Amino acid sequence: MAYKAVIYANRTTEGLSVIDINILDDATGRFLARPTKSFIDDINAVPFLDYERVKQIVSKQYKIPPTNISFSK
């Protein structure tokens, strides 16, 4: 079973600010999980956050390949 992540983030003068992350089943699109507020706060604590760094953090935490991680516009 493959998973994908959709990350909701805003651009700021200091980098990205992650608002929310949804973990979905890639085949059905069914919602599976949402991270805790403390996990999102930990991501936002990283200085000069960019898209690649967010992908690395989410990939490591949820074992999702970076190719299955996207950002909502």
pLDDT in tens, 49-62: 999 999 999 999 99
Backbone angles phi, psi at 38, to 5 degrees: -65, -35
Structural domains of the chain, count? 1
- Give the Cα separation of 43 and 39 in Å (integer): 6
Closest CA to 48 of 13, 8, 14, 6: 14
| Per-residue confidence (pLDDT) for residue 26, from 0 to 100 | 87
Query: Which structural domain, as residue segments, surrounds residue 56?
Result: 3-71
- Give the Cα separation of 28 and 36 in Å (integer): 23
| Per-residue confidence (pLDDT) for residue 52, from 0 to 100 | 96
- Give the Cα separation of 6 and 9 in Å (integer): 10
Q: Which parts of the chain sit beneath pLDDT 70?
A: none
